[in-house]
A = this chain, B = another copy of it.
Amino acid sequence: MNNIQGKIKIKDIAEKAGVSAGTVDRVLHNRGNVSEETKKRVKSIIAEINYTPNLYASALASKKTFVFRAVIPAYSSGEYWEMIEQGIRKGAQELIDFKVSIHVHYYDQYNQESFCRTLEEAISYKPDGMLLAPSVKPLTLQYTGQLEKKGIPYVFIDSRVEEAHPLAYFGQDSLRSGYLGAKLLLSQKKECCDVAVFSFFHPGQVAANQISLRMEGFNSYIREKEIDCRQHRATLAVNDEKKNELEMKRLFFENPKIEAAIIFSSRSYIVAEFLKNNNLNHIAMIGYDLLEKNVHYLKNNTISYLLAQRPEEQAYKGIKALSDHLIFKKQVSSVHYAPIDILTQENIDFCLGF
């Protein structure tokens, strides 16, 4: 007898097959101890009536618990990785009644050894699944290899490592976001123009990052569209404000014709701050990522466009991919590029608070 909703239950299947609910459950979960014959009979009935289990009842009754572990760079408040963690926390919240618990491990993204230690520790707990913000390729492959050997599914977040076999990848298409940056900055220019192009560097950087890919995409637009422009490049550094200040002074004051600027790092506010302080209002600027400080300069009209990538959503979906795979037995597709959001003063307010 199906219930009010007309939904079919295990009991219904059991009756039709002339077996007990326990047996149906055994075949549903391949738990063995069922004769080939009844197995076939039950399976055919399940297929026939298009049975979908009540996952909530299942979770309630099940004694199985799951532990996921996430390994991401340590961060300070207001940084990019904070949003990633928020997404993880949101996923964790939704899964507690499915007996899932999530632990987050942090590594120093400027220290290779820290990456290794953290990952080793996380793996040593034998989690049921992992979410991983990868480091450089050879290092990362070393550990994804271990995970694969142990049969632990893992999901890459933010950036991807070729030759690994993650359950899924959630991140952005950095090439394209660089390409789009160029288009927004340069498409309407009719004559040759001067552009300031900033990258960003930290000694010992070990976490993979998007900067060089974005720059590559940027240049491919210029090549493809045969844009006539002069690029003035500079590299900024973490935690060296004086050097950065000098670098920017050199760049902008020696090249007064610069009318556009782009910085391929989430720390775009560094350049924005400089432009603001030096009243270089005529320079159109593009930055990356939805950091609070970047938003500030978007709102006060220093940054024209911010290209953003919804990190919370990526992380949230990464967690969901693990649970879909492990708990809900759903097929999960392997690559998920986040939308490239184009943010301006006008639409920014609707994007805050995911």
Q: Is A350 an interface residue (CB 8 A)?
A: yes
A 41-74 contacts with B by CB, 8 A? 54-57, 59-60, 65
- The CA of A54 and the CA of B99, in the complex, are separated in Å by 11
A 324-338 contacts with B by CB, 8 A? 337-338
- The CA of A255 and the CA of B342, in the complex, are separated in Å by 32
Size class of A's contact patch? 20 to 34
CB pair B346–A176 under 8 Å, yes or no, is yes
Residues on B with C-beta less than 8 A from A14 are none
CB nearest neighbor in B for A342: B342
Residues on B with C-beta less than 8 A from A339 are 341, 347, 350-351
- The CA of A342 and the CA of B306, in the complex, are separated in Å by 12
- The CA of A97 and the CA of B52, in the complex, are separated in Å by 10
Q: Is A188 an interface residue (CB 8 A)?
A: yes
Q: Is A107 an interface residue (CB 8 A)?
A: no
Q: Is A249 an interface residue (CB 8 A)?
A: no
If A5-B65, A5-B99, A101-B5 touch, does A346 touch B180 (CB 8 Å cutoff)?
Answer: yes
If A340-B350, A344-B180, A347-B342 touch, does A97 touch B54 (CB 8 Å cutoff)?
Answer: yes
Q: Which of B101, B180, B344 is within 8 Å of A183, CB to CB?
A: B344
- The CA of A299 and the CA of B173, in the complex, are separated in Å by 18
CB pair A4–B65 under 8 Å, yes or no, is yes
Q: Is A19 an interface residue (CB 8 A)?
A: no
- The CA of A101 and the CA of B350, in the complex, are separated in Å by 30
Q: Which of B5, B179, B183, B347 is within 8 Å of A96, CB to CB?
A: B5
- The CA of A169 and the CA of B211, in the complex, are separated in Å by 39
CB pair B55–A97 under 8 Å, yes or no, is yes
- The CA of A351 and the CA of B338, in the complex, are separated in Å by 8
Q: Is A7 an interface residue (CB 8 A)?
A: yes
Residues on B with C-beta less than 8 A from A56 are 56-57, 59-60, 97
Chain B nearest Cβ from A128, distance in angstroms: 14
Chain B nearest Cβ from A347, distance in angstroms: 4
Query: What mask results when residues 164 to 194 of chain A are scored 1 for a CB within 8 Å of chain B, else 0?
Result: 0000000001001001100100001000000
A 226-269 contacts with B by CB, 8 A? none
CB pair B344–A4 under 8 Å, yes or no, is no
CB nearest neighbor in B for A98: B56
Residues on B with C-beta less than 8 A from A338 are 350
CB pair A176–B342 under 8 Å, yes or no, is no
If A60-B56, A60-B60, A183-B344 touch, does A4 touch B350 (CB 8 Å cutoff)?
Answer: no
CB pair B350–A183 under 8 Å, yes or no, is no
CB nearest neighbor in B for A351: B339
Q: Which of B7, B101, B344 is within 8 Å of A342, CB to CB?
A: B344
If A339-B350, A346-B179 touch, does A54 touch B60 (CB 8 Å cutoff)?
Answer: yes
Name 17 A/B residue pairs within 8 A (Cβ), A-sorted: A4-B99, A5-B96, A5-B99, A7-B97, A54-B97, A55-B97, A56-B57, A56-B97, A60-B60, A176-B346, A183-B344, A188-B188, A337-B350, A341-B342, A342-B342, A342-B344, A342-B347
A-B complex: 4 closest residue pairs judged by Cβ atoms: A56-B56, A342-B342, A340-B347, A188-B188
4 new A-B contacts, CB < 8 A, other than A7-B96, A60-B60, are A7-B97, A55-B97, A173-B350, A338-B350
